[in-house]
């Protein structure tokens, strides 16, 4: 289908800062690959797939990751440099990409000044439904509600601003970006304009492949670097109804303002890059993915965790979630080099974090993971 905005153009919230940079044709112009990267991973937006891209690129080039002590940077507390494993004042890392509540001054303590900042957002009308299903145990407001419809009928009956997991239950993307809440409507345009200056590219979950193409050109990376399988998908999850989407957007009004702002900025990126050119490259990305899935994966796509023989390839299953998270099982008989490449693409985020930690901090150099 021709490229078009992923959601109806919302009412304009205020002026936008047009920071696009230059999209380069890697075959026609030389550019320097970017290796200092800040990715703000927002919840239930497709960020796990982006982390897989960054993990594979960084590992293949022996870049240093700013890693959390476990799997998140003390979330939901604001990010602190001291939460990075191995942090020493004055030293910096190459890539940071795990869940945090963003704090720019603290991130600058661990990342070089020339780092490229980007993130990903999703329409709260679908993000909110996914969060409700996934975080039933983590967010008290969701746990108290018998169903999504019951929650949306009277959300304040279940939600308390200081409750456990409150940042996941209302305006979670706004929360992840570290923006102040509550925020008066008159303050929102300036807050978002300032945020766009910090994050010159924000991807759209609804246009994930097109987003990867734009990202690849901004980073000056080769085409194969953004080949990726869709991680953290859920089996049996139904799409929210139109009424549910409207109520979710109203409940997450700050997220809707944030998403609307970056939806508009995304389409300015598309216009500058060229819609036809973007369509062509995104289609080629999808063709490569299909070929890789057929070559790498048993069933040529995601499967239930119970069908995955290799324990390291089984995805994390959140307690209380309404739908199981799917993962990937490798085809038997792959040659060693291909098995390694396919295994890295299939590896879920948590075991990949463990692998990167082993490579950086000892307890093995990670080669024991090469036998997939």
Q: CB burial class (10 A; 0-12, 13-18, 19+) of residue 236? A: exposed
Tell me, yes or no, whether 27 lies in a domain.
no
Write down the pLDDT at residue 12.
33
In this structure, what token pair is assigned to residue 361?
């901090």
- Cβ atoms 369, 59 nearer than 8 A: no
Number of folded domains that form the chain:
1
In a domain, 3, yes or no: no
What is the predicted pLDDT for the residue at 193? 97
DSSP 139-188: -HHHHH-SSHHHHHHSHHHH--TTSTTHHHHSSHHHHHTT--SS--GGGH
CA distances 339 to 87, 314, 330, Å, are 34, 16, 8
Short-list 76, 7, 53, 21, CA closest to 228:
53
Residue 261: helix, strand or coil by DSSP? helix
Look up residue 134 and give its two tokens.
């996934």
Q: What is the pTM of this model?
A: 0.91
Q: What is the pLDDT of residue 25?
A: 53
What is the reported pLDDT for 320?
A: 83
pLDDT of residue 20: 30
Q: How many CB atoms lie within 10 A of CB 358?
A: 16
Identify the three-state secondary structure at position 234.
strand
Tokens found for residue 1:
């289908």
235 assigned to some structural domain: yes
Residue whose C-alpha is closest to residue 316's, from 122, 72, 124: 72
Is residue 29 in some structural domain? no
User: What is the reported pLDDT for 367?
Assistant: 58
Show the domain range for 141: 37-361
Asked if residue 74 belongs to a domain, the reply is yes
Q: What per-residue confidence (pLDDT) applies to 235?
A: 81
Does residue 206 sit within a domain? yes
Domain at 53, CATH number: 3.40.50
Q: Domain for residue 32, yes or no?
A: no
Q: What is the mean pLDDT of each run of 10 residues along the chain (372 residues)?
A: 46 31 53 97 97 98 95 95 96 97 98 98 98 95 97 96 94 97 92 97 98 98 98 88 98 98 98 98 98 97 94 92 91 96 97 96 64 59
In a domain, 155, yes or no: yes
- pLDDT computed for residue 137 by the predictor: 92
């Amino acid at each position: 289908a021709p490229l078009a905005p992923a959601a109806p153009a919302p009412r304009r919230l205020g002026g936008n800062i047009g920071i696009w940079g230059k999209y380069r044709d890697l075959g026609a112009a030389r550019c320097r690959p970017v290796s200092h990267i800040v990715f703000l991973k927002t919840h239930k937006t497709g960020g796990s797939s982006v982390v897989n891209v960054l993990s594979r690129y960084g590992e293949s080039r022996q870049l240093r990751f700013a890693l959390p002590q476990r799997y998140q940077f003390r979330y939901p507390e604001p990010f602190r440099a001291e939460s990075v494993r191995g942090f020493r004042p004055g030293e910096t890392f190459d890539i940071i990409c795990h869940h945090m509540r963003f704090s720019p001054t603290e991130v600058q303590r661990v990342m070089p000044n020339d780092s490229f900042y980007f993130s990903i957002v999703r329409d709260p009308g679908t993000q909110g439904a996914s969060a409700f299903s996934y975080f039933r145990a983590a967010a008290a407001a969701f746990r108290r509600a018998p169903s999504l419809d019951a929650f949306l009928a009277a959300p304040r009956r279940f939600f308390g601003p200081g409750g456990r997991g409150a940042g996941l239950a209302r305006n979670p993307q706004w929360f992840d970006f570290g923006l102040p809440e509550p925020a008066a409507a008159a303050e929102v345009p300036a807050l978002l304009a300032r945020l766009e200056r910090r994050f010159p590219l924000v991807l759209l979950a609804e246009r994930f492949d097109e987003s990867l193409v734009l990202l690849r050109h901004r980073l000056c990376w080769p085409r194969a670097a953004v080949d990726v399988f869709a991680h953290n998908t859920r089996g049996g999850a139904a799409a929210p109804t139109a009424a549910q989407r409207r109520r979710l957007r109203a409940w997450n009004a700050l997220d809707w303002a944030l998403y609307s702002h970056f939806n508009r900025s995304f389409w300015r990126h598309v216009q500058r890059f060229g819609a036809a050119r973007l369509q062509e490259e995104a289609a080629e990305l999808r063709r490569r993915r299909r070929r890789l899935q057929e070559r790498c994966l048993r069933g040529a796509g995601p499967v239930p965790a119970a069908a995955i023989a290799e324990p390291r390839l089984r995805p994390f299953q959140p307690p209380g979630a309404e739908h199981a998270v799917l993962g990937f099982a490798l085809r038997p008989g792959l040659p060693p080099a291909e098995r390694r490449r396919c295994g890295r693409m299939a590896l879920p985020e948590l075991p990949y974090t463990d692998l990167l930690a082993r490579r950086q901090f000892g307890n093995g150099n990670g080669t024991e993971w090469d036998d997939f």
